Amino acid sequence: MTRSCRVLAGTIFAALIVLLFSGAPVRAELRIDITSGKVEPMPIAIPAFPGGADNESQAGHDIAAVVSADLERSGLFRPIDSRSFIQNVSLADAQPRFPDWRQINAQALVTGSVQTQGDGRLRVEFRLWDVFAEQQLTGYGYTTTRQNWRRIAHIIADEIYKRITGEEGYFDTRIVYVAESGPSAKRIKRLSIMDQDGANNRFLTDGHALVLTPRFSPTAQEITYLSYSSGAPRVYLFNIDTGQQEVVGDFPGMTFAPRFSPDGNRVILSRAENGSTNLYVLDLRTRRATRLTDSQAIDTSPCFSPDGSKIVFNSDRGGSQQLYVMNSDGSGVKRISFGSGKYGTPVWSPRGDLIAFTKIEGGSFFIGVMRPDGSGERLLTRDFLVEGPTWAPNGRVLMYFRQSPSDSQGHGGSTRLFSIDLTGSNQREVMTSQDASDPAWSPLLR
Amino acid sequence: MSLALAEPGLTGADEVSDEMPEGIGSRGFALSAALHLVLGGVLIIGLPRLFDPPPVEEMPVAVELVTIAPETRTTHPNPNLPRPDAKPDVPEAEAPAPKPKPEPPKPAPVPPPAAAASPPADQPAPPEAKPEPPPPKPPEPKPEAKPAEKLEVPKPKEKPEPPRQVAKVEPKPEEKKLEEKKYDPRQFDALLKNLAPVHTAMTQDAPPQNPRVASARASSQPRAPLGSQLTASELDMVRHQIAHCWNVPAGARDAKDLVVEIKVVVDPDGTVRQATIVDQGRLGSDAFFRAAAESARRAFFNPLCRPLHLPAEKYAIWKDLVVDFSPRDIL
């Protein structure tokens, strides 16, 4: 007994000694917490992509300019003035001279080249470098027809944006909108489409019929919109490739406010009948319509959540126009907006975390966002009339239209497109050749 | 009426007092005075406490004593680091081994830190670094070849001109399919290849550091005592300096919850030799994290943070740093 006690005591003592000495050499690094930093656009250098022949150099210059403009417009990058560049990048340079770029405070550098292949097509390559770490972050090559250089530039800008921010880009996209011209009493409205930077604009309809609320299909091949071409407002489908149009559904009365489901197989819309307006969903394959709401109020502006399980819409069923969310089969209707004023045109973010809306309060219009449960309402911009938000495919940027007030003779009152970052900063006008309203952002084209 | 009724009562009372004997009156007065005194005393001393809430026991306030350097202005460069002078001295003192190096300055160290080490902008360094980059170059050809094919997407634009031709419809689906087919595997390959240089750069750093990372995580206790060896002002200074070098990725989803741990090996002159993102696993799988982690890592190569303002005489303490970046104070 005593012997075993002694053994036990000895063991404990030995363990203590071991613990004591094993603890001694442990040495940890000094730890520092950094909880703040600079929030400013990243300085990036995008020299013209060199090419062998003159036309290649011109294309390289143009491509670099479009990439630069795309990134600058995002508000997250600050392209450095090319006049301050020290190194003149040439085709022979396999790797940039990093000290030259550090000296002008470039944190990122984009180099590239343009060459013509045997079949006459362009071979465009680019590389994104981390100037401080002297590492290549990404690099791709593309082969394309000469007239397609602009699209290649957008794709390159998307790759850069994605690599630096971790989010998908939105530059290789198009905007469908309503181009407006003529006096207010006799306004001509035409369905139009352009690249997200305003380039390559073309009209899809001739303007003889009024068109409203165009929306892109998730497949980017089709647009659904409202047209008065048959006299009464009806929802149509427009095939961008073929130019063919067709009426959606064979409803009596008015149909309006159409929008595609996330899978592109259904269209949800409003139908007015007997003084009330209800929501219907139409399967484009079977052409069968299903009624989703049954109220004596006006239910309109429906929009699916990105996973297709919910629908947000606005309704005056509670007395004033507010936002409601329900299941995609019409069950479980729940009001989500409780602020003062009226809410309309809700649009679910492609990443699902927010719903953008138009709010009218105190004679002013606002574009705002809130969470799908109605919490966290944030107003991004306010003006005389701002309306119709649409999300960029990455859910970080909104586009909408803004109308300025007109004078007593009806002059002024121009309508233009604007984009704004989700943070409420970086508001930019999207340049269009004439007045524009009702923008709808396409998904990424790839 | 009521007054007339009251008067008889009052007169009656007077009569009673008149009958009271003298002795009883003075004793009563003394008794009354004593009772009043006692009552007064109770009121003054005792009662207030009856109505007051019980006194709250004051909690002891923990006070942490930190060492403050004689100079506390964090914005000033640390006087302890006369870098130019320090540089030559320290390397020599540090290790005799480096001496042979001077001629082929960075033969051994070059491969791993090549990228990191060269930034100091020493003229010799960059040229030396270049021979190494060849590893990075190989990755270049890869992206070129593969994505090139995947992204032959020119056709959409050809459509615009004669918009409504049915003929075009067909080409599109074909293109689409091609794109899709090409896109998936190749983009994935390309992505992997693009990651390759990053990973190799990291892994070069990683092997020696991994054990340390483990030990650092395991031992949270030594953190306080070690940190306290640098004065509060010294810590503030370097914190301030790094914050100025960090371009925070703004607006990203859940950015608030992002915490990036960077392991840093610092040279005696305060120049960061290696900065390694600790969570390598998440680096490859989470694009948001990768963007945030790289922005944090970039901070150490920002000229404003080369060198870090740290007291040279305490090199042993800050030779190995672990820096946690979290934008929680900004967002």
- pLDDT at residue number A222: 87
For A122-218, strand residue ranges (E) read 122-130, 135-144, 174-181, 188-195, 202-203, 211-216
- What's the whole-model pTM score? 0.69
| Single-letter amino acid code for the residue at A262 | P
- pLDDT at residue number A2: 56
* Residue among A87, A94, A125, A128 at smallest CA distance from A110: A128
Q: Which of A19, A22, A26, A32 to mutate to test the interface with B (most CBs of B within 10 A)?
A: A32
Element spanning A45, H or E = strand A42-45
Give the residue on A whose Cα is nearest the Cα of B326.
A35
pLDDT, one tens digit per residue, over A319-342 is 899 999 999 999 999 999 998 899
Q: Note whether A12 and A19 are within 8 A (CB).
A: no
Q: Is B302 in Cβ contact with A200 (below 8 Å)?
A: no
CA distances from B171 to A220, A264, A417 (A): 15, 21, 33
In this prediction, residue A304 has a pLDDT band, given cuts at 50, 70 and 90, of: very high
Residues of A in contact with B158 (CB under 8 A): 145, 147-148
How far apart (Å, rounded) are the C-alpha atoms in residues A271 and B293? 50
* SS3 state of residue B226: helix
Q: Is A37 in Cβ contact with B299 (below 8 Å)?
A: yes
Q: Is A31 in Cβ contact with B153 (below 8 Å)?
A: no
Fold of B221-329: 3.30.1150
* Residue among A262, A263, A42, A67 at smallest CA distance from A169: A67
- pLDDT at residue number B68: 62
Give the residue on A whose Cα is nearest the Cα of B176.
A446
Domain ranges of chain B: 141-218, 221-329
- Window B:184-203, CB contacts with A under 8 Å: 190, 194, 197-198, 201
Give the residue on B whose Cα is nearest the Cα of A40.
B247
Which ipTM was obtained for this model?
Answer: 0.76
Q: DSSP string of B251-295? A: T-TTGGG--EEEEEEE-TTS-EEEEEES-HHHHHH-HHHHHHHHH
Mean pLDDT of A67-95: 89
pLDDT tens series, chain B, 331 aa: 443 333 333 333 444 344 444 555 677 888 888 888 888 777 776 555 555 666 666 666 766 666 666 554 444 444 444 343 333 333 333 333 333 333 333 333 323 333 333 333 333 333 333 333 333 333 333 333 334 443 333 333 333 333 333 233 233 333 333 333 344 445 544 444 444 443 333 333 333 333 333 333 433 344 444 444 788 888 899 999 999 999 887 656 666 678 899 999 999 999 999 899 999 888 888 888 888 898 899 899 888 888 999 988 888 888 899 999 987 776 5
- pLDDT at residue number A14: 63
Domain ranges of chain A: 42-165, 174-441
Domains A42-165 and A174-441 share a fold: no
Contacts of A313-319 spanning 24+ positions with Cβ under 8 A: A313/A279, A313/A346, A314/A343, A314/A344, A314/A345, A314/A346, A314/A357
Residues of B in contact with A423 (CB under 8 A): 250-251
Closest by Cβ to A445, choosing from B152, B156, B330 = B156
For chain A, what is the mean pLDDT? 88
- pLDDT at residue number A27: 53
Q: Is B291 in Cβ contact with A130 (below 8 Å)?
A: no
Residues of B in contact with A102 (CB under 8 A): 119, 121, 303
Q: Note whether A235 and A248 are within 8 A (CB).
A: yes
In this prediction, residue A16 has a pLDDT band, given cuts at 50, 70 and 90, of: low
Closest by Cβ to A133, choosing from B115, B159, B287 = B115
- pLDDT at residue number B129: 32
In this prediction, residue A345 has a pLDDT band, given cuts at 50, 70 and 90, of: very high
Q: Which of A31, A34, A353 to mutate to test the interface with B (most CBs of B within 10 A)?
A: A34
Q: Does domain A42-165 fall into CATH 3.40.50.10070?
A: yes
Please give the residue that has the higher pLDDT: either B155 or A130. Answer: A130
- pLDDT at residue number B117: 30
- pLDDT at residue number B96: 33
Burial of A400 (0-12, 13-18, 19+ CB in 10 A): buried
Q: DSSP string of A147-160? A: GGHHHHHHHHHHHH
Q: Is pLDDT of A265 > 70? A: yes
How far apart (Å, rounded) are the C-alpha atoms in residues A423 and A170? 17
Give the residue on B whose Cα is nearest the Cα of A27.
B222
- Window B:218-257, CB contacts with A under 8 Å: 219, 222-223, 226-227, 230, 235, 238-239, 242-253
Fold of A174-441: Neuraminidase (2.120.10)
